[in-house]
Amino acid sequence: MLHGPQPNPRGWSHKGIQLATEPTCLAILALRHERTTELEVAVRNLANLQNTDGSWPAFAGDEQTGCWVTALAAITLMNVGSQTAGLASAIHWLIDAKGREASWFWRWKFQTVDNHVGFDPAKYGWSWVSGTTSWAIPTAFSLIALRQSKTRGLNRTADLDLRIKVGTSMLFDRMCPGGGWNAGNGVAFGVPYAPYIDATAVALLALGGHPKEPGVQASLAWLVNRLPGCPSPYSLAWGVLALAVHRDISKEVTDTLGRATKELTVLIEKAVGTDDICTLAACALALEASEGNDVFEVRT
């Protein structure tokens, strides 16, 4: 039985000892029911890592411009009940953050000179780091953070609603032909890109509550066909998390969720590919989601 990563008195790193935001957030989410002193310290250290503009750096000592992990930090603080001023400023930062195609210059460039990318630059999301183009996974996590903040009553402004609308339109616009998501574009140079399991899963998490959208249905069908037999516990875990949110859409989704959960359990028991904190935490969260408690679900 997987109980999740062990508490760390400071936080968690990708490798070595340098505190990093992504593994710390995922580990805190996996351990959020423990309520130990060590976990409280880790949550406090995560909050202290926040930049003055409301964003989070990728790791301690990184540049103070902030990046995509701001969304993951906001999701984490909301789910551990940390309703702080820092959380409010993080939500404002996410509302204001945009992929560079949101600016008139880059929009003009993508529509005229650099139009081989095959997407609508008027539909923008969030980038991995500031000043770059929108990508699927940072957009999906940002949408989850904003939607959860709205349902929790932390921010119900028109600006938030508009940002969610534009970001959602970007995900649908960047979808690969036939369903699913690649890291960024669905088509470039006239060539359709193949979807990735993890990108598709995280995008579907962000689009929970849109069961009738053809893009959601097509992407779920793609994930149902590709997820069983996936050898990567990381991708398999994110797939389970996504299917858990959409389990009521069809019997096929429900059945695939059960099969994928069993396959994930076998990989965990064999300790296959679970030697890093992000994967281990994602596996713990996936097993919890399979039982009806998905931390990334937006409850309306």
What is the average per-residue pLDDT within 268-272? 86
What is the average per-residue pLDDT within 220-231? 96
Q: Which domain holds residue 60?
A: 1-97
Q: What is the domain count for the chain?
A: 2
The predicted-structure confidence for 280-293, as pLDDT tens digits, reads as follows: 999 999 999 999 99
| Residue 236, CB-side half-sphere exposure with 13 Å CA sphere | 25
Q: 167 with 143: CB under 8 angstroms?
A: yes
Average pLDDT of the chain, as a whole number? 88
Q: What is the predicted pLDDT for the residue at 7? A: 45
Tokens of 205: 């998490």
Q: What is the predicted pLDDT for the residue at 299? A: 75
The answer to whether residue 300 is domain-embedded is no
Q: What is the pTM of this model?
A: 0.90
Q: Same domain for 184 and 276? A: yes
The answer to whether residue 296 is domain-embedded is no
What is the average per-residue pLDDT within 244-269? 96
Q: Same domain for 79 and 118? A: no
The predicted-structure confidence for 89-134, as pLDDT tens digits, reads as follows: 999 999 999 877 765 445 555 555 555 566 677 789 999 998 888 8
Q: Same domain for 121 and 165? A: yes
Q: Which of 68, 97, 126 is the last residue of a domain?
A: 97
Q: Same domain for 89 and 128? A: no
The answer to whether residue 299 is domain-embedded is no
Tokens of 180: 């699913």
Q: Same domain for 124 and 39? A: no
Query: In the predicted model, is pLDDT for residue 208 greater than 90?
Result: yes
Q: Same domain for 130 and 15? A: no
How far is CA 15 from each of CA 19, 49, 68, 237, 267, rounded to the nearest angstrom? 9, 18, 19, 21, 22
In which residue are the tokens 């790193």 written?
13
